Each structure stands twice: as structure tokens, then as C-alpha cells.
Amino acid sequence: MARTAADDDDDGPPPAYAAQRGPRRDPRLKDLGISCMLNTEVGALLAVIRRRPDPYSYLPPAVAAAEEATFSALISSLKALRGLLFQPRHGAWRCSDPSTYLTAFLDVVQSEEVPPAATGVALSSVLKILRIDVFDECSPGARDAVHAVLTALTNCRIERISDAGAEEAVLLRVLQVLAALMRTRAAPLLSDSSVCTAVNTCFQIVQHAASSRGSELLQRTARHCMHEILQAVFARLPDIRDDADADADDLALGGSSGAGFGARCMVDIFSFLCSLLLNSTDMVVTPDGQAGAFTSEEDVMLFSLVLVNSAVELGGEAIGKHPKLLRLIQDDLFYHLIHYATEYSPLVLSMICSTALNLYHFLRRFLKLQLEAFFMFVLLRVCGGASGPQLQEVAVEGLISFCRQPTFVMEMYVNYDCDPLLRNVFEEVGKLLCKAAFPASSSGPSPMTTVQLQAFEGLVNMITTIADNVEVEKAPDHGAYAVDVSEFRLFWVERWDSKETTWVDFVRKRKLRKKKVAVAANHYNRDQKKGVEFLKLCHLVPTPPEPRSMAYFLRYSPGLDKNKVGEFLGDPDEFNLRVLKEFTETFDFTGAILDTALRTYLETFRLPGESQKIQRILEAFSERFFEQQTAGVFATKDAAFILCYSLIMLNTDLHNPQVKKKMSEEDFIRNNRAINDKKDLPREYLSELFHSISSNAITVFSSTSSAAAEMTRSRWADLVNRSRSMDPFTPCDFKHKLSREVFIAVSGPTVATLAAIFDCADDEETLNQCVEGLVSVARIARYGLEDVLDELLCCLCKFTTLLNPYATTEETLFTFSNEIKPRMATLALFTIANRFGESVRGAWRNVVDCLLKLKRLKLLPPSVIDPDGTGAGRGGGSERPGHRHRASASDAAGVIFPPTHRGAGTSRHVSGMIGRFSQFLSLDSGGESLLSVGSEFENNLKIIQQCQAGRIFTDSAKLPEEALQNLGRALIFAAGGKGQKFSTPVEEEETVGFCWDLLALLASANLHRFAAFWPPLLECFSAVSQLPLFSPSPFAEKAIVALFRVAVRLLAAPPPQRPSDSRVPEELVFKSINMMWKLDKEILDTCCEGISESIVKLLTEHAVGVQTPLGWKTLLHLLTVTGRHPETFDQSVAAMVKLMSDGGAHVTRFNYAAVIEAAFGFAALKISPLDISTKILELMAESVNWLIQWHKSGYSDPGNSGGFSGSSSSSSSVDEASRMGNMATNMFIKLAEALRKTSLVRREEIRSQAVFELGRAFNLAATGDLDFGPAGCLACFNLVIFAMVDDLHEKTLEYSRREGAERETRSMEGTLAAAVELLADVFVLLLPTVAQAPGFRTFWLGVLRRMDTCVKCDLAAGGGAGLMQELVPRMLKRMIMEMKAKEVLVAREGDELWEITHIQIQWIAPAVKEELFPEDPNFYFYTIKDNPLHGIEENDLDEWDLDDGGDDIYEDTEARVFTERGYSFLFGPAPPDLVLPAATHRSKAHHMDG
């Protein structure tokens, strides 16, 4: 491109430097920078080397030349390096051999002639080179370079430096270079020995810094550098192959693999750190100035623990891949942690707890027994206060750190509590937290100590963790939590088989068996035989027991009396000897020395005092030890036995205070000569045993439990030995069933502790956490732990102060208004009851009592019983249904809240709500405290509204049947007065009414399963009525009104929402209603308006829903009863008329009888107007049309009549007719009977109308072809017509005997006449059918008898001829003429009916005899009064009965004889041998004597 004039303008500004843009830097610029840096360092180092001590003094040339010659090699090397810095190279510095630019500086570092300042500058230069990564692991010669740097650092002669400040400056630089070297990218090229050298060099500086010459800065820097080196080393452990910890020969320096350092150096470093813990005393600077690295043992412990922690944190799970490193942790490290945990300051214990927590995080799979020992020997003991309050506080904090881990709770439970060979670690932890958090005093609120607060926090955290993980979408059935252990398994050594059962069930069965073993141990301690029987009963040992199972029981059962175990094992019985052998084989003595094995063996039982038993036990031990010895010390098992016995004797001799002359070592060795197959045992071996026994006695005769023992070396050796064969720690997550059982282990102490803390705490923060814990308990207990949930709710009810029997209403209200604790308890109570009511059982009673107390305090809103705000749910308040409003204090109960206002937590899940329980106490988004919002009364009302107590009942459909029944029982007993104290009758009435309102709400919400949950409540009604203070008046009164509301809701429900079999709920409701009014029949009068209103509503709006005879009977019966009152008569009779006037839409063959009965009740009512009664009677008669319609439709199936008649209160006569099998006849008779009964009322108009309608009914039936059949016709006469005539006749006679009753007599006589006329009309109407009946003759005699009865009564007031004297002959004539016309009555010889009629006419109506029966001279009548016939042989006469009336007829070919009413009649010529008494009167056929 051509240049322009402007480009050459000298006056313009200089050209701007075009810097390269972008994220990457030009490599050439980086190399140039390195060159410049190296040039600067070389120049600085040369200047320091050449610098004279006194630059202004004169130095002779010879001396100057000599000094120059001293540093000539170093200076030449530096100058040569400077000459190479800016020369063109073939590659970058990274590709160059680092020795090219490092050698000159390292030579200066190792030089003994250069001044300290030059050494420091050279070290600074090396530090810069390492920090900017001039070379890395890929650079040529990098391995030699890093080793050269490390060699230079170790060869740096510090001791030549006389000035302390200069020495410290150089040491600081050395530490910096060491740290940088271990962090450089080429550090992995170092060998294992080089890494150990670097660590050793750093530790030497640490020791040097701890001396009198070291400053605080150097000490801190040295320790920090040590920390950085270990971090750099162990950070590489996860990248090392599993076989990287092989022998050093396989990873020698310069090996072809080039892998660099591996796990070998880490093992050495870790072993060094453990040795620091072991030899902490030797590392302390002594008062006389002896060398030491630390000022105190605690300083050593903290230093080493910090480094161990770093190594574990960085190595992580990779440590488990390297057996040597893992063994150090399993054995040495953990032993030191347990041993030193209680011997130093809280800071050391805190570091030990942190280390143990890190080991739990990364290596718990390999530390099962070690972690158990740490918990049992350190945390649980120190937390219990055994080592003082300071350590206790630290230990509790450490324990809480474990509890905060997500899976700690479950893993502890599964790996320890469910393992029969181990302790219940989780249960011990939970109980210890409860014990530590439990308030010291329960007398009142008091501040909690630090330890109590920490333990309380850990307890709440643990319970919340369980609650968060126990929840499932659908809870299993209660039976799913059952565990079956009905078969024997040697569960101590059983392993999970996935083909047989799930892992969860396997763990649960192990835990159950472990629990039963603990119970069996308790039985065994008290009685050995009972203990064994319990073992067999629980299938823990087979039947009969076998040695191995008994051996495991004696070996691993916690709490066994060691005396009994020792006595059992030493018994000479064959079975006991086999158990002893199996017991001994549970021990693993591989690699153990004799005294350690013997200590381990004798710790499991108390050695008996009898020598023979001791011998048997030691023989078994010796045999086992001899089999498992690895050193080959013993030639025979007898040698082991003799030495064991000798050790027991030595132990007794050395440690028994009664032995004055103690055995010496020489004596012990001499006593055991030639016992090893006639040879001596090694002297060193015996000497070691002697010193071990001398310094640490064997506990031979102690019965102290292992829980109180100390962790000795021998016990630790046994633990490490057992850990090799123990199942590894199983990391696991929460499972629903296991989570539930985890909580069961600590449920009792947890609830008690939280309740006690809530009772004693006074600060809001603690109360919030406590309520969160209680709600978490409820979240867990909802899964089949009803007892726990009941206990929790009872505690909360207590804290509400609502159930304090000694506080007045004013005191309770004051406490509730001015203290936050009762409010929180109330809110928690109803929150739990709402959310987890499906698991509440007996505590419903307490909840109901709290509700009733709130009701009395006027704090319950109306929405509790009227959730829809319609007022339909109210019925038990201050206003009695059906009554005029009665002024009382209850009018002010409750406050009407805006329908849009909802309490906090309404729509959130509980797990979200308990995150901070104080949000329950927030009224709006502003989160104001309830203590500062509005007045006290408004504040209380808002809190109670947030409780949403009404949801317990409106949402009760989710409750299982058992919980629902318990809630119903609680309400019933509360309504019955159980546990209630009423100050006034008004208060009692309101409380009972409120309870029944809630019961109605409960029933309405569960209509779909009403038949399942209501029957048990029916039994409660009888139980309540037996209570000592039971008052039937308010109870039954409120009950029947509430039950009618339930009935309305049940019958008003549309078919899809009704139960599949709605007949059963309907029968239950009406059965309950009947029970209530029978408790106090006066309530039908006091509550008549309310009852009538409900019944009218049911009949007018929901009659189609009434499907059972019991329902119809109850409704119609109560309708007639309540309709007797003038204030309810109009609406009741209107409903009755409407029911019968709708064309029979709701009247069926099943409720017909009840409808007719109710209609009769209204028709015969005294207060019923004549037109109403007439209308009802007309409707009753017209109902025959329904019968005709049903009959023609085939509804008169005899098979269905049983359910109808059994469901209605028919009289015995109807039951008799029902057996005839004709439904139409039965229903018609029911109608006719009702009309018959109406014909007996006092009002003549109604009687006459009833008789008329009865006749009309018969006419309608005949016209409609309602076929009664012969039997049905007879039933109609016998049960209706005859009964009506008889009753009217008796009534007439009764009135005729009264003085001044002439009018009533004539009135009744008129009705009787109408009835007789009706009899004749119906007779004529039904004659063709009734004449076909087999009993027609008897029936006809019945007709004649009633005619005779009516005609012979002198009914006239003055004794003259009455109405019946004229009517009866006329009716008889009509009936006989009709019978003749229908050829029913025919004059022929031998016709019985003709003969009977002929005779009866002589008695009844002789005036019409001639007209009806013309005279016949061939026949005579002989009448014998009060004298039976005699002289007639039975073989001459045939005897037979016409009916049940007992009229006997004797006949032969010529004469007929019969008896009636005390007379004997002979019709026809008398037999020749018949002797007639003197009183006999003979007459013509047309004449009869009186």
C-alpha cells in the first residue's frame, strides 16, 4: 500500500502500540517475560554475591582477587546463564531442560561460602521459577530437576549462619520453596523417599522453630508449610492406582514406569502422624531445654490431628483402596482417637470428633466396629457428663454433627441396632440426647443450659430428618408393618438372601429378633428355664434347643448375667459341654498372644469359683487357642492349658491383696518348665506374659458389664481382629418401614423430652423449635403409631391450658390471651389433628374437650359447624330448632370472618409449614407477631380461625373407619356429659347441641360410608344413657334434630353421591332417631316444630329418597305425633295430604301401610277440622285404586310380603292375613282396619264418613276386580266388618248405661246401624266369592250371631222398639234373598246351611220367617235347655266340626241334632230310644220356644 504525506509528518503523535486482543497470550511474549525474569534474578544474585560488607572501605587488589576467586565458579555459572537467556532457541522454556537455569541458583543455595543474603536471593529465584511453572512434568529432565531442588533444600547449611534473623529468613524461604515444590506440576515425579524427605525436612524446621531461637512467625509458617505439603501429597491419592502401595522395589527411583510417588510415602507419613499421637510426651520441649518440637502435649495432639484431618479430607474414599493405609486408620489412628479423647482439653476432643466425622464420611464401610467403639467409649460417655461439663459440651456438639448427616440416623440403626452382635448405637444416641436435653426442673420456665440447648437441637434435627424421609405418597395398610418370625433361624450369623426376602424385611426381622433376645435375657437372668422356654416360644432357638444357637445366645445377648453364663458353661452336663465348645468357637484367636486371647475370652462371662468348672472352661479355651496359633509356640494343647492355668494363678497371686509374698518373674518361668511336650517355652514369651499380667490384671471374677469397661490394648486388639471377619458397614438411605421403626426406638423419650422442654421453656425460639419437633413426631406417628400420636395430642391439650379443671373461665381466657405458649399449643394441636387425624384414636376425646372449651370461651367461629356459611349446619347453639329465639349469652359466640380470609398454613403441606413454626403465627404477609395485632379478643379469634378446627369434620372423609368411630364416640360421650362440668342449664344445652352439630357434620361428610362407621356409634347411645349424670332431655332433644339434618342430607344427595346400598344408612339413621325419642318421649312435644319441619321437608322435597319401610314408618309416625300440636298441625297435615294426593307417586306397596296408619292418625285427630278429616278419609278410600293398579301389575307377589309386613308395625291380625300370601288383601285389610278404627271416634260426622268410605273402598275394590279370594273375603269380614260391628255395639251399650248420654247413644246407634247396613252391603257384594270358602257356614253363623246381638239389644231410650229392631230383619231378608237368588241357600233335605238359617231366623227375626221359610208339617224342633242330649249312641251318629267355634252336629238318616248357646236342638222325627227330659218342648217347624 502506498505511503502518503501524512504518514511522514514528524509533527504527528507517536504510533500507538497495537496490543494483542483476545484471551490467549502470545507464547513468545511469555518466554520473553521468563527470560527477563531470569535475567533480573541473575543480576540481583550477582550483585549480592559481589557486595562487600563495607562498600566504602578500601580492599587491596590481592584480597579482592582472592574473594573473587572464592565465588568464581558460582559467578561464572551465573554469567553463563545470563548469556543464554536471550539467545534464539529452538523451543520455549517449557521444552528446555530445567537444569539449564536451575543449576546456577541451586549451587548458590548449597554453597557454604556465600552470605545468607545470597542464599535467600537464590531461594527466592527458585521460588519464582516454581511458582510460574516454567517447566512441568512433561519437560525434559523435569524428574532430575525436582529432585535436584529437593536435594538443594536439604543440603542448605543453616547452621553456618550465625545471625538469628538471617537464619530465620533463609528458613522461611526454604519452607516456601518446599511448599511450592510440592505444589508444582512436576511434583508427582518425586519418588516416595523424596516426599518423605521433604516432610522430614519440614518437620525438622518445625522442631527448630519450637526451640528458643525460633520466632512465632517461623513456627506458624513451618506448621503451615507442613500442612500444605501433606495436602499436596494426599491430594494425589485419588489418582493413584490401587496397586500403587506395593513394595518399594516395584517403585524404585528411576524406574521405567515413571509414575512418581505413590501410596507408600503416604503410608509412611500417616504412620509418622500416628506416632506423633503415640509419642506426644517425647515431642514436648522439656524444662531443662532438651530438644522438642512442641511446647505441650496438647500442642502435639492438635498439630497431628490437623494434619490427619487434612490427609483424610483429601484422600477421601481412595484411602479404602490401599490396605496398608486403611489398616493404619483402623488400628493405630482410631485407638489413639479413643484413648486420648478424654485426656486433653475440649479443643483436642473437638478435633478428634471432627476427625472421626471425616472418617465416617469417607471410610465408614471399613470402620464398622471402630465407629461403634468411638460412640460407646467416647461420645456417649462424655456426653453423659463422665468427663466434666466442658468436655460434655464439646462431645454433644460432635454428636450433633453426626446427627446432621443425611443418612447417619438410618445407617446407625441398620448397622448397629439391627445387628445382633453389636450394641444399639442409635437407640443409645437418641436416649442420650433426650436425657441431656431434658430440663433439670419441671417446676416452671427456666433458662436452658448450653448442653441442653445443643442436645435439644440435635434431637429436633434427628426427628425432623426421620420425618422428612418417612413420608410416602400412600401409606401402607396397618398390617403391612407386621413382622413374622414364626420359624427358627440362626440369625446371629444369617446373611441376606435376595431370593427369600427383601433387604428391608430382612433387617426388620433381625431387629425384632434382637429385641426378643433382650427380653429373653431378662427372663433368663431371673429364671433359666423360663428364659429357655421364651427362646423356644419366640423361635430364637429350635425345639429342642441345639448347642450352637444356645452358644450364640450366651455369647452375644446384651444384659445377660455373667454369673449365670459362667455357671452354665462350667456345668458337666453333656449338652452344656457341647454349648461350651460352640461358645468357644465363636472367638477368633488368630495372631493373638495368649494373655490377650484369655482376657478377651474371660470378659464375656464370670469364671465360676469351682475348680472343676474352671478346668473345663480353660480346656475348651486352650484347645481353641492351640488350633488357631500362628507362631507355633505350643507343641500340644496341654501345654496351652497348663500355661493358661498358670496365668490364672499368677494373676491371683499378683493382684490379690491377701497374698503377701508375690511371685517373681523367675518363679513364674521356673514353674512352667518342661510343659511344652517336655520342653521349655521360650523365656522371652514367658517374660512378656509375666509383665503383661503384672501391669494389667485379668478380670477373672468380675460381673461388670462390658459397657462400663475401658478400652484397653487387649480389648482393642480383639476388636481389630473381629473387624476382619465382620460384615462391612452398609451405607444406606432411608426406607419408609425402616424409618418408622427407627423412630419407634426413641419415640417414648422423645415425646416426653419435647413435652417437658415446651413446658419449661419461655423464649419463642425454643418454643418454635419444640413445636417443629412435635409436628415432626406427628408426621412419623401417622404411619401406624397411634399410641404415640395420642400421647402427643394429650400433651398438647395440656399445654393449651384449656382443660385445666381448677381454672375458671376468666383465668383460662386471660392465660390464653397473654401467653404465647397456649396459642402455639392450640395451633399445633389442631394442625396435627387436621393433617394426621387418620392415625388419631383415643386422643379425639381430648381434642373434643378443647373444642368445647373454646366454644364456652366464645372463641369458635360459626364456620366450625357451618362451613358453607349457609346456617344449615347450626342446630345446637343457643337457638333451639322449632322454638322461638331465647336470649342468652351464646348469641355472641364466635365472630363472622370474611370468607376470603384464611389462616396461615392452610394450603401448604406440613413439611413446609414446620420449617419455621412461627409462620403459623403470622396473620398476613407482613408477618406481624400475634402479640401485637389488634385487641386480645380479636387476636384470639384469629388464632382459632387459623386452627381451622372445622376441617377436622368437613374433611373427615379421609379418616379411616377406626379413627372416625373414635371421633364419633368422643362427641357422643361429650354430649352425654362424660367429663363435662356445666355451670348452668343453658351452658349444658349449648354444649350438647354443639356436640350434635359436629356429629351431624361428621356424618354428612361420610355419607358414602355411613353404613360402616355408624353402627358402633349406635352402641354408644346405650352406654351414654347409663352414665351417672346423664340427662336425657338436652341429649335426646339435640340428637333428634341433628339426626334429622343428617337424614335430610342423606336423602337429598343425588344418586351418584349416595352409597351403593343406601337402604342400610337410611335404616341406621331412622333407627337412631327412634332410639333418641324413646329416651325421652317428651322431646316430641318440645321439639315438635323442628321435627315437623324436617319431616315435611323430607316428604315434600326428598320423598323419592326414602327407600326403607323403617324410614317411612318413622317419618309418618313422627309426622302424626308432632302434628297433634296446633302449631305444627297445618304443615304436617298438608304434607300428608300432598303425599296422598300426588297420584301415589311416592306411595308404594312397602310404605302403604305406614301411609294409611298416618292418615288414620290425622283423620281421627281431635283438632283436625271436619273438611280435613273428610278429605283424608276420601283419599284413604281412593287409595284402593293404587292397590288395584299394583295388583294388575303383578306386584302382589307373596314372596315380597314378608319384607313389608316385617318392616311395618302391623297388628297380629294383619300378620295372620299376611300368611295367606295375598299382598293386595293384606294392604286392603290395613286400609279397612284404619277406616274401622276411625269409625269409633267421638265425632259422629267422622264416624259416618269412615263407614261410608269403607263401603266405598269395598265397592272400588269390587269394581276394579281386586280379587280377594274366598280366604281374603273371610278375612275382610272377620278383621274389619265383624270387628267394626262388635266395637260399635259395645260402644253403644257403654253409652246406653251412662246417665244423660241419650244423645251419644242415639249417635252411636246411628253409626252401628250404618255399620250393619254396610255388613249387608258387603255381604251381598262379596257373596259369590265368599260362598266358595270352606268355612262359609261358620262365617254365615257369625253374620247371624251379630244380627241377633244387634236386634236383641233394647237400644231405645224409652225401652220401645229401636232402630235396630226394624233394620236387622230387613238386612237379613236382603241377605237371605240374595243367597237364595245365588242358590247359595237352597231348601233341600240334608242342606246344613238351610237348616241352620231356618233355626237362627226363629231367634233373630221371626217376623220374616214365614216369608223366607214356608211351614213344613213333617219336621219338628225339640229344644232342650241346659241339658245335653243322651241316649244317642256314637256309633249311630257321625261327629264333625264346621269351624273352630266348636258347634257339633250329630246326624243320622232321619234326625239331626246340634247344640248352640247351651241348648240342644233336634230337627226331624225323634229317635225311638231317645229319652227327652221333662224340660223338652216340642214345636212345629215354624215355632221355637225361648
- Is the model's pLDDT at 924 over the cut of 50? no
Residue 191's identity, in one-letter code, is S
Of how many residues is the chain composed?
A: 1490
- Cβ atoms 715, 604 nearer than 8 A: no
pLDDT, one tens digit per residue, over 693-750 is: 888 888 775 544 444 568 888 888 888 888 888 889 988 888 888 888 999 999 999 9
- Cβ atoms 320, 363 nearer than 8 A: yes
Q: Model confidence at 64, in pLDDT bands (50, 70, 90)?
A: low
- Is the model's pLDDT at 655 over the cut of 70? yes
What is the DSSP-derived secondary structure letter of residue 1298? S
Residue 524 C-alpha from the chain's centroid = 34
- Is the model's pLDDT at 901 over the cut of 50? no
Residue 416 C-alpha from the chain's centroid = 25
Distance CA 690, CA 1248 (A): 129
pLDDT, one tens digit per residue, over 1275-1314 is: 999 999 999 999 998 988 888 888 888 888 888 888 999 9
What is the pLDDT, as a whole number, of residue 28? 59
- Is the model's pLDDT at 249 over the cut of 50? no
pLDDT, one tens digit per residue, over 821-830 is: 999 999 999 9
- Is the model's pLDDT at 556 over the cut of 50? yes
Q: Model confidence at 259, in pLDDT bands (50, 70, 90)?
A: low
- Is the model's pLDDT at 1473 over the cut of 60? no
At CA 1389, angle to CA 1387 and CA 1392, rounded to 5?
75
Q: Model confidence at 1220, in pLDDT bands (50, 70, 90)?
A: very low
pLDDT higher at 64 or 936: 936
Lowest mean pLDDT, pick from 355-364, 615-624, 1356-1365: 1356-1365
3-class state of residue 1450 by DSSP: strand
- Is the model's pLDDT at 899 over the cut of 70? no
Average pLDDT over residues 1077-1091: 81
Q: Counting beta carbons within 10 angstroms of the beta carbon of residue 1149, is it exposed (0 to 12), middle (13 to 18) or buried (19 or more)?
A: buried
Residue 610 a catalytic site member:
yes
At CA 87, angle to CA 85 and CA 92, rounded to 5?
75
- Cβ atoms 791, 805 nearer than 8 A: no
pLDDT higher at 1081 or 437: 437
Average pLDDT over residues 1096-1122: 88
Query: Residue 18: CB partners within 8 Å, gap ≥ 6?
Result: none
Distance CA 1283, CA 1034 (A): 43
Lowest mean pLDDT, pick from 227-231, 409-413, 555-559, 1459-1463: 1459-1463
Lowest mean pLDDT, pick from 132-146, 279-293, 638-652, 1236-1250: 279-293
- Is the model's pLDDT at 3 over the cut of 50? no
Distance CA 362, CA 1418 (A): 135
- Is the model's pLDDT at 766 over the cut of 60? yes
Distance CA 1084, CA 1255 (A): 35
Residue whose C-alpha is closest to residue 398's, from 445, 347, 329: 347
Residue 1340's identity, in one-letter code, is W
Alpha helices in 782-819 (DSSP H): 786-799, 809-818
- Is the model's pLDDT at 58 over the cut of 60? no
What is the pLDDT, as a whole number, of residue 575? 93
In the sheet with 1420-1425, reading across from the earlier edge strand, the strands are 1438-1441, 1448-1451, 1456-1460, 1463-1467, 1420-1425, 1481-1484
3-class state of residue 224 by DSSP: helix
* % of residues, the chain, pLDDT over 70: 80
pLDDT, one tens digit per residue, over 1396-1431 is: 888 888 778 777 777 777 665 444 444 444 444 444
What is the DSSP-derived secondary structure letter of residue 1423? E
Q: Which residue has the cell 317428651?
A: 1082
- Catalytic residue from among 610, 928, 1294, 1392: 610
- Is the model's pLDDT at 775 over the cut of 90? yes
Query: Residue 466: CB partners within 8 Å, gap ≥ 6?
Result: 409, 734, 739, 742, 743, 776, 780
Distance CA 681, CA 858 (A): 93
Residue whose C-alpha is closest to residue 303's, from 313, 312, 293: 293
What is the pLDDT, as a whole number, of residue 326? 93
Distance CA 765, CA 921 (A): 13
Distance CA 726, CA 233 (A): 32
pLDDT, one tens digit per residue, over 397-444 is: 999 999 999 899 999 999 999 999 999 999 999 999 999 999 886 555
At CA 761, angle to CA 755 and CA 763, rounded to 5?
135
Residue whose C-alpha is closest to residue 1266's, from 1226, 1234, 1210, 1304: 1226
pLDDT, one tens digit per residue, over 990-1030 is: 888 899 899 999 998 888 888 888 988 888 888 887 777 67
At CA 54, angle to CA 53 and CA 58, rounded to 5?
125
Residue 1268's identity, in one-letter code, is F
- Give the distance between the most distant pair of CA atoms in the chain: 204
What is the pLDDT, as a whole number, of residue 233? 92
Q: Model confidence at 985, in pLDDT bands (50, 70, 90)?
A: confident
- Is the model's pLDDT at 1347 over the cut of 80? yes
Average pLDDT of the chain to the nearest whole number:
80
Residue whose C-alpha is closest to residue 1043's, from 1089, 1077, 1012: 1077
Q: Counting beta carbons within 10 angstroms of the beta carbon of residue 217, is it exposed (0 to 12), middle (13 to 18) or buried (19 or more)?
A: exposed
What are the φ and ψ backbone dihedral angles of 965, each rounded to 5 degrees? -65, -40
Q: Model confidence at 378, in pLDDT bands (50, 70, 90)?
A: very high
Residue whose C-alpha is closest to residue 1273's, from 1342, 1338, 1218, 1322: 1322
3-class state of residue 1456 by DSSP: strand
Average pLDDT over residues 291-312: 84
What is the pLDDT, as a whole number, of residue 81? 84
Q: Model confidence at 88, in pLDDT bands (50, 70, 90)?
A: low
